[in-house]
A and B are shown apart, each in its own frame.
Chain A
Amino acid sequence: MSTVTSSTEPSAVPSVGGGLSGLSRGRSVTNSIMTVVVYAAFLLALVPLAWILWTVLSRGYGLLMDQNWWLTSQRGITPRRVGGGAYHAILGTLVQAAVCALIAVPIAVFTAIYLVEYGRGKLARAVSFMVDILTGIPSIVAALFIYAVWVTTFGFQRVGFAVSLALVMLMIPVVVRSTEEMLKLVPNELREASYALGVPKWKTIARIVIPTALSGIITGVLLGLARVMGETAPLLILGPYSASINTSLVDGPMAALPTMIKDNFGQALQPATDRLWASALTLILLVLLLNGAGRVVARFSAVR
């Protein structure tokens, strides 16, 4: 592999003797142009990343330095006024994501176990196909579905728990896929050794296969959490914003960071704009933290 990628470019100078290394000018020019194009594509892709991170960081860090940002809510703070914090929104985001994970992770892990350890034939193909479809389902469609069930059919209110349910649909495919990849990496010899000792299949999976793949599963959960925390569409449909702290998932509107951003987006006043960027930075930090944690777990404890 490395021999291919590190191979030196054939000389661009046409050899006098007409040897094998002779390369026409046109071909070498094309090669150089394409090399530049490929490098440029990569650099081009980095521009928005750096630009976005810089924008949010430079405009948002001010408010984050104030400890009130982390400890107070926006209760009673009008768009005109400076002050208040994001505690209510951070709390809402964390609680909704945690409840989502509690529901999604068992379903997803068992689905992955089914696909790798049990699934054969038509049903397995259907499950695998549907997980792919679930991966591609727009978050607003998932939210509309939960709305159709939770609000229209059962007549419940738009509350935090409904948001969690919509997030479950978005988290399941992420965790299924990463768990599935990890379970496949578990060497067959481990399973066979366990069977040979007379250990039943379920115990082999629960005590041998899952622990071996655990770090990969945790990585998948963390990446899944990072994804659902940034989702806004389910909140628009199911989770109205509230400026006050609400710890209840089943009673009253519950704030979340994306809706806090959305709420401040509508205001043209400077204090609100400052809060807009500060809450965006808070959300990015949260998501990147989970992402980073996922990668660290993946790196330090890969399946051996």
Chain B
Amino acid sequence: MTSITGHSEADAGPSGDMAATGRVGDRIFSALATGSGVFVVTLIGLVAAFLLAQAVPSLMDNKASFLTSREWQVSAGDLRFGIADLLWVTVISSVIAMAIAVPVAIGVALFLTQYAPRRLARPFASLIDLLAAVPSIVYGIWGYFVLRDFVQPVQSFVESALGWFPLFAPLTVSGTIFLASIVLAIMILPIITAISREVFDQTPAAHKEAALALGATRWEMVRTAVLPFGKPGVISASMLGLGRALGETIAVTLLLSVTRGTFSWSAFAGGETFASRIANGSAEFDTPLKTGAYIAAGLVLFLLTFAVNAVARIVIERRKAFSE
């Protein structure tokens, strides 16, 4: 994770090319290292190839539109499945999670880099990192058994106040997208914080001192020097958090009530994300065609997270180009 803001490998490090003498040991070692690198690159290609190869037969047999249908009927002989509602639930739950997590993460990162006493900053940061160490299934059971009862009143309040708006339409579901989003927000908070912290820390002291010398208060210094400098890093961190939220499986599977056959735009509905649909279906992976339907959903999830992560990477690369 820390690597994202690191320097690119190509332009750093010693060359030592002259020391590579062409001896047997050197050739073996170089082959092992290059081979491992090539393996990692091929691995991603293999993931895409295998998922695609096993999704295609099911997609060909699919009698419903894969992109627009809300059906999920995968028993043999009559394949009718589509990802419309999966896409909606996946995206809206992750977006709500981002809306909650990003502001808090920026606040925490600012606290750790600009406000906290120097001596305490490191232990405090470790505490936040601990959030990332908690396994996702523990988030799931905690959200289900503990947090749900606390979220319920908030939910009813929003429903009664803003129920006219489709996103907040009242429904009687116990495991809502809203609940899942809050838990997702907690799960991605440490990721966004860690990377934001790193970029805020890199703000040139000269920028900050200049702001202070011009009479800025601490907040004005943060607003005029730290935040603009860290902005691409925060965007990139948020994208990585988003990628994590999109693919989170078990916590969402435990939290969301499965409500097939009904659909609502409301955040207080149940539903399934790509990941939770696959997890819920994992028991019925018996025929290749049926499994292929789930693999097709997995492929879309893979492409979605690939795109989000690639954008995150490009944003941070561009920042590096400007700041050097």
Give residues in A with beta carbon < 8 Å to B. 1-7, 9-10, 20, 23, 27-28, 30-31, 34-35, 37-42, 44-46, 48-49, 51-53, 55-56, 106-108, 110-111, 113-121, 123-142, 144-145, 147-149, 151-153, 169, 172, 176-177, 180-181, 183-184, 188, 191-192, 195, 199-206, 226, 229-233, 236-237, 258, 261-262, 265, 276-277, 280, 283-284, 287-288, 291, 295
Contact = CB atoms under 8 A, between A and B. Distances in A.
A119 B10 contact: yes
Residues of A contacting B: mostly: helix
A35 B135 contact: no
B310 A133 contact: yes
Contacts of A195: 16, 18-19
Given A38-B111, A177-B3, A276-B141, 19 more contacts: A31-B218, A41-B103, A45-B104, A45-B128, A49-B128, A52-B139, A52-B142, A110-B32, A111-B33, A125-B10, A137-B247, A138-B305, A144-B294, A177-B1, A180-B3, A200-B21, A230-B137, A231-B135, A233-B275
Interface stretch (B38-46, B69-77, B262-270): B38-46
Interface residues of B, number: 113
B279 A42 contact: no
Contacts of B156: none
B237 interface: no
Contact of B33 (A20, A118, A132): A118
Interface stretch (B47-55, B79-87, B163-171): B47-55
A173 B111 CA distance: 29
19 contacts: A39-B115, A41-B107, A41-B111, A42-B124, A49-B134, A127-B37, A133-B310, A136-B247, A138-B246, A138-B247, A141-B305, A184-B7, A188-B13, A191-B14, A192-B14, A236-B249, A258-B137, A265-B141, A276-B141
Interface in B217-268: 217-220, 222, 240, 243-244, 246-250, 254
Task: Indicate the member of A121, A132, A226, A283 with the most B CB atoms within 10 Å.
Answer: A132
B154 interface: no
B60 interface: no
A40 to B, nearest CB: 7
Main SS at interface, chain B: helix
A276 B140 CA distance: 12
Contact of A10 (B2, B133, B217): B217
Contacts of B13: 116-117, 183-184, 188
A82 B230 CA distance: 54
B41 A130 contact: yes
A76 to B, nearest CB: 23
Nearest to A116: B13
Given A9-B218, A145-B50, A295-B126, A262 B137 contact: yes
Nearest to B4: A132
B26 interface: yes
B30 A136 contact: no
Given A113-B33, A118-B34, A133-B306, A200 B138 contact: no
A141 B137 contact: no
Contacts of A38: 107, 110-111, 114-115
A283 B10 contact: no
B16 A117 contact: yes
A181 B3 contact: yes
Nearest to A277: B141
B198 to A, nearest CB: 12
B305 A280 contact: no
Given A144-B51, A233-B275, A291 B133 contact: yes
A134 B137 contact: no
Contacts of A141: 47, 51, 247, 298, 301-302, 305
